[in-house]
Structure 1
Amino acid sequence: MREFTVPSLVTAPHVGGLADVVFEHAAADPDRVALGRSTDGVWHDVTAGAFRDEVLALAKGLLAQGVRFGDRVAIMSRTRYEWTLFDFALWTIGAQPVPMYPTSSAEQVHRMLHDARVTACVVEHEDHAMTIGSVVDRLPCLARLWQLDAGALGELTAAGAGIADEVVHRHRMAVTPGSPATVIYTSGTTGRPRGCVLTHANLMAETDTIVRRYEQVFRGRPGEEPATLLFLPLAHVFGRMVQVAAVRGRIRLGHQPQLSAAALLPDLRAFRPTFLAAVPYVFEGLYAAARREAEREGRGRPFEKAADVAVRYAEAMEGKSFGTGPGPGTALRVQHQVFDRLVYARIREALGGRVRYAMSGGSAMERRLGLFFAGAGVTVLEGYGLTETSGAAVANPPERPRFGTVGLPVPGTSVHIADDGEVWLRGGQVFAGYLGDRRETAAVLRDGWLATGDVGRLDAHGYLTITGRKKEILVTSGGKSVSPLLLEERVRAHPLVGQCLVVGNDRPFVAALVTLDAEGVAHWLAMLHRTAPAPAELVNDPELEAEIRRAVVAANTAVSQAESIRAFRILATPFGEEQGLLTPTRKLRRRAIERAYAADIDALYTK
């Protein structure tokens, strides 16, 4: 199949902007709990009316401090309640938020603020303020800086006390669906980050479609009030999509700024979301933590058996839904029921006890992991999208997911596979273009289609599988084209592996650089009753090398001999964001890694 379209479920609005629902929801039901706000670990309800009042007061303060219709205001912070408040206050007065990762370097900050001609900036704490300060002399447009942890909300609210409500509403009424809503910079994994201009119509088409199509996902069970705890970075389009969808879809929204298990798990238990949105490494971490806990308690073999049963059960259910099998047999159903009480219920309880669905995006999820969670009672729906598509353009349907694929086009979206295998997308959520870069815009927008740069295929049912990126396809010196994605996923599935980079461009064969998972290695050493050696000694440990070799051999079973990994090198330190080797969403910056580890790569081919 070369092209597949799913009809639209929503009508594009002719008037208004994203902030209107804040005021509409408050007028219709001011006492409905719209958000949750955590203070010192205690969750407090925020009603629709209270949120409207805070948005209005902040919008007045922004106007009083000189922010005008069409201005761009940067936000540099972790995921927290105030970010959502600023987003909707800025949209209320027709301004355009420009999100920045809190880990951005001074040069990255300068590039984005200068390119977007940002006039004001909101930062979380003093370190961020110092980062801005280090480049402020090269930012002639920047006139205001507010710091959340230094009382920015109180300062702005007080400044706007004398402005009438009508002034704010005049600004809000001037916003149209075609007005620019935000400028989000791409991660720049294969080139310079570019500012994607997303309109109010883009984000409304995206989020209204997701809310309508996936209502059963958000509610978990019939009659439950939907709720989600957002821990994705709001600087990324996926987190932003979830935020807007939650507010527009009347889904109670909480924020969690830390991704560590120590911080996240207590809030999951306290907030009790009905669904989650995360990137694959979060689900990989949950699975690995559950396995390590079972092994520490002497239940390692039962856990592996439970995992196998979950995978086989989900696979049988998938086969039944596609008409290729009868579903789970009696023996498998009995085993599944037993392990549901002993193992799977623990995993669901760790997520707060109410999660039955989750959404995964940002990078590919290994099929077996998706099957495991589905068999354990938490169906993870993998999707696919870009900053340029305002979030998900393709996603698995809850009633018939196909694990290992990214699903079907979301309603109102078309997918086309070009002659060279590139995935093209068309729909109301596709962006307006790159800020100030007509040449790059023209290069990716072709007669209404967005050329994604990703390579994929459609199956007979219209499900899309992403097989790699055009710019990341390796071509060996023997002329063999190799997509590294599948091999990297398979190697990374091993509990001792943290990251994997497959190399081989213009080389005689495919090889790999492998980093270690610190928690996985510590657990492995403890189970062997071994003391931890120095990192330099560990990478040359024969037992460890044998384990990594098993991971490589297992990965090679998925490809032909010519595409298989022939050599690998274990590295003492992981690829880090601070060295410029990872994006903030943990994607590998391939070119940067290949430059940084050129000597290690050369050594793979000189043995």
Structure 2
Amino acid sequence: MTSIPALLRDRVEQTPDSEAYRVPSETGWTSLTWRQTGERVRELALGLARLGAAPDTRVAILCSTRLEWILADFAVLATGAATTTIYPANTAAESAFVINDSGSTLVVAENAEQVAKLRSVRAELPDVKHVIVIDGPAEEDGDDGWVVPWEAVSDPGAADGAYDAMIDAIGAEDLATLIYTSGTTGRPKGVELTHDNWLFIARAVRKLDIIGPADLHFLWLPLSHSFGKLLQVVMVDAGVPTAIDGRLDRIAENLGVLKPTFMAAAPRIFEKIHNTVSATVRREGGLKLRIFEWAKSTGNRVVRARQRGAAVPLTTRVEYAVADRLVFAKLRERFGGRIRFFISGAAPLSMEMAEFFDAAGLTILEGYGLTETSAGSFLNRPESVAFGTVGPPLPGVEVRIAEDGEVLVGGPCVMRGYHNLPEDTAAVLEDGWMRTGDIGEVDAAGRLRITDRKKELIKTSGGKYVAPTYLEGRIKAACPYLSHVFVHGDRRNYCTALVTLDMDVVTPWAASAGLPADAEALRAHPRMRAEVEQAIGRVNAELASYETVKKFEILADDFSVESGELTASLKIRRKVVEERHGKVLDSFYDA
């Protein structure tokens, strides 16, 4: 198999009548078979070829996670062109940068809102021949055919031979995807990933034998992100049906209705689930709260014994069975009752989250990879999960630890390079090894433990190193009302923190406690500050003195992708936060 379109064609031939995708509809959910998927992709690919998609060209996709994104991607690749991904939340200027830097000549846009964004910078997009709009009206006065409706692109009458010929001409080393790094620092760089990069990861996952056609995968992750793209290709290779809905506010509801067997997410989603459950029982108080806390404590004892490889005493097993019936079984049922495991990536998963979900019978397999390494390089295995690690490498992936502790990754997963940036490429690639920028260590079992980002480690003025993401995860787990935590202290004499409130979680609690519902008033309320202070105090009690957070401030506004303080994969842009809230941070250190 030399290309992703060839992989899809092979899947259609092997299991034409099996379910491929499930999508929301007016009556619930509608399914497509692999045969139907293949036919839609064929017609769309031939239509795109008529519009100019061809080898050595790029087509940008500016769309949220939905079936049409996947169909467009497969169709683009079938023409021999490469897909450029753009996050729907990107501004007009950011979108224009990606389109121009990638050299994209066609753009697939989701709706009128995204088309309007492109129209506003049309003068800056001289090479874009057409914008193809999935939903909404296409033309406006003066467009001159620039905007084309989705349904007009498909070419059902073209011969199959032309489609197969396009696919057969694609080579394994041909460019498949240009994914622009989310840019926690500096301007985004286009990561060049070939067909072979993606196919290698798909084959590696297949060798793990952890998913198959009997599974149902629920996909909500941004397909503009490498993690989502990886899942897209892996499911084709494994023949696993995927239910698709990119709406974040529907995740919990969809889990209950669809009853999937696995789902991937960023840690923020698991934190949100945990905090919602925890805040609800705390608000109800009384017996329910005592039972929940007892069940959580009992579950942690069992989980920690398993992690040590120790036997669980009979009395604890009996208590755990009761805890499971009273608490954990109900939680599993809320997620459909069929989850075999979750997969976590894109950011570190805190120990508290790992233990809570494992105790509930909802084990999270934490993995690790960069866009530059095709998203997936390491993954815990269901039969041997080790909390605090991202598991061993996928089959065929190599790992080395440099003298300064930096993790180096090698193998066919490593990118071709950064688009039109030879110096930046040379700075991170050496003899096929990718410098990840992460600090880590490999244990005796070959599992990788990431301790922190090399560039994000805090060095206090006393010369002590502090891992901020570790502290941030601990504090969020200690207080269910928090959405984000930002630990600061580089070149300062102690650490401080900015915290934001999760208003979806905190509002019901505030109402029951007679506190203001307005974020500005709530953040300054003594009761709210006391909750945060107590949580930080509990975390500080287990830290070395130089790691402890001495002061904090609650912000009225949450960090968000739209505000620029979060990347599209929900990681904090540390420099942006420091610049935007510099006065508050400086005030922590005033004499």
What TM-score, normalized to structure 2? Answer: 0.94
Match of 2:483 in 1: 498
Match of 2:100 in 1: 114
Once the 2 structures are TM-superposed, how far is the Cα of residue 534 of structure 1 from its aligned partner? Answer: 4.1
Higher mean Cα deviation, 509-518 or 263-272? 263-272
Stretches of structure 1 lacking an aligned partner (at least 5 in a row): 1-12
Match of 2:448 in 1: 464
Match of 1:425 in 2: 409
Structure-2 separation of matches of 1:71 and 1:569: 49
Structure-1 separation of matches of 2:173 and 2:507: 53
Match of 1:250 in 2: 239
Q: Counterpart of 2:507 in structure 1: which amino acid?
A: A
Instruction: For residues 89-140 of structure 1, give each alpha carbon's deviation from its aligned partner in whole angstroms, at most 9, with x where no partner exists.
Output: 1111111111111100111111111100110000111111011111121122
Match of 1:6 in 2: none
Once the 2 structures are TM-superposed, how far is the Cα of residue 442 of structure 1 from its aligned partner? Answer: 0.5
Of 483, 489, 500, the residue aligned with 1:515 is 500
Q: 1:286 aligned to 2:283?
A: no
Q: Counterpart of 2:269 in structure 1: which amino acid?
A: V
Once the 2 structures are TM-superposed, how far is the Cα of residue 279 of structure 1 from its aligned partner? Answer: 0.8
Q: Counterpart of 2:267 in structure 1: which amino acid?
A: P
Structure-1 separation of matches of 2:423 and 2:563: 30
Q: 1:605 aligned to 2:589?
A: yes
Once the 2 structures are TM-superposed, how far is the Cα of residue 297 of structure 1 from its aligned partner? Answer: 5.0
Q: Is contact 1:511-1:604 (8 Å) kept?
A: yes
Structure-2 separation of matches of 1:44 and 1:479: 59
Q: Is contact 2:352-2:474 (8 Å) kept?
A: no
Once the 2 structures are TM-superposed, how far is the Cα of residue 522 of structure 1 from its aligned partner? Answer: 1.8
Q: 1:195 aligned to 2:180?
A: no
Q: Counterpart of 2:83 in structure 1: which amino acid?
A: P
Match of 1:379 in 2: 363
In percent, how many aligned pairs have the same letter?
36
Q: Is contact 2:276-2:480 (8 Å) kept?
A: no
Structure-1 separation of matches of 2:418 and 2:473: 31
In 2 relative to 1, CA 50–149 (structure 1 residues): closer, same or farther, beyond 3 Å?
Answer: same
In 2 relative to 1, CA 533–37 (structure 1 residues): closer, same or farther, beyond 3 Å?
Answer: closer
Q: Counterpart of 2:152 in structure 1: which amino acid?
A: E
Structure-2 separation of matches of 1:65 and 1:162: 15
Once the 2 structures are TM-superposed, how far is the Cα of residue 492 of structure 1 from its aligned partner? Answer: 1.5
Secondary structure of the 2:12 match is: helix
Q: 1:141 aligned to 2:127?
A: yes
In 2 relative to 1, CA 41–489 (structure 1 residues): closer, same or farther, beyond 3 Å?
Answer: farther
Match of 1:155 in 2: 152
Match of 2:55 in 1: 69
Once the 2 structures are TM-superposed, how far is the Cα of residue 577 of structure 1 from its aligned partner? Answer: 2.0
Of 161, 168, 173, the residue aligned with 1:178 is 173
Q: Counterpart of 1:545 in structure 2: which amino acid?
A: R
In 2 relative to 1, CA 291–130 (structure 1 residues): closer, same or farther, beyond 3 Å?
Answer: same
Give the alignment of 1:239-318 within 5 angstroms: 239-260=228-249, 263-295=250-282, 298=285, 299-318=288-307
Comparing both chains, which one has the higher relative contact order based on Cα–Cα distances under 8 Å and sequence gaps of 6 or more? 1
Once the 2 structures are TM-superposed, how far is the Cα of residue 477 of structure 1 from its aligned partner? Answer: 2.2
Give the alignment of 1:220-239 within 5 angstroms: 225-239=214-228
Q: Is contact 1:247-1:253 (8 Å) kept?
A: no
Structure-2 separation of matches of 1:294 and 1:533: 19
Of 62, 68, 85, the residue aligned with 1:99 is 85
Structure-1 separation of matches of 2:378 and 2:567: 22
Q: How many residues are treated as equivalent by the alignment?
A: 577
Higher mean Cα deviation, 292-301 or 406-415? 292-301
Structure-2 separation of matches of 1:569 and 1:96: 46
Stretches of structure 2 lacking an aligned partner (at least 5 in a row): 138-148
Q: Is contact 2:488-2:496 (8 Å) kept?
A: yes
Q: Counterpart of 2:233 in structure 1: which amino acid?
A: V
In 2 relative to 1, CA 542–238 (structure 1 residues): closer, same or farther, beyond 3 Å?
Answer: same
Structure-2 separation of matches of 1:293 and 1:542: 21
Secondary structure of the 1:107 match is: helix
Match of 1:88 in 2: 74
Structure-2 separation of matches of 1:448 and 1:22: 29
Secondary structure of the 2:376 match is: strand
Q: Is contact 2:110-2:135 (8 Å) kept?
A: yes
Structure-2 separation of matches of 1:584 and 1:404: 24
Once the 2 structures are TM-superposed, how far is the Cα of residue 558 of structure 1 from its aligned partner? Answer: 4.3
Q: 1:573 aligned to 2:557?
A: yes
Instruction: For residues 470-497 of structure 1, give each alpha carbon's deviation from its aligned partner in whole angstroms, at most 9, with x where no partner exists.
Output: 2112222222222211111111112122
Structure-1 separation of matches of 2:494 and 2:308: 37
Q: 1:487 aligned to 2:471?
A: yes
What TM-score, normalized to structure 1? Answer: 0.92
Secondary structure of the 1:371 match is: helix
Of 396, 400, 405, the residue aligned with 2:380 is 396
Give the alignment of 1:200-211 within 5 angstroms: 200-211=195-206
Match of 1:448 in 2: 432
Q: 1:57 aligned to 2:43?
A: yes
Of 21, 32, 43, the residue aligned with 2:7 is 21
Structure-1 separation of matches of 2:12 and 2:454: 47
Alignment RMSD (CA, Å): 1.7
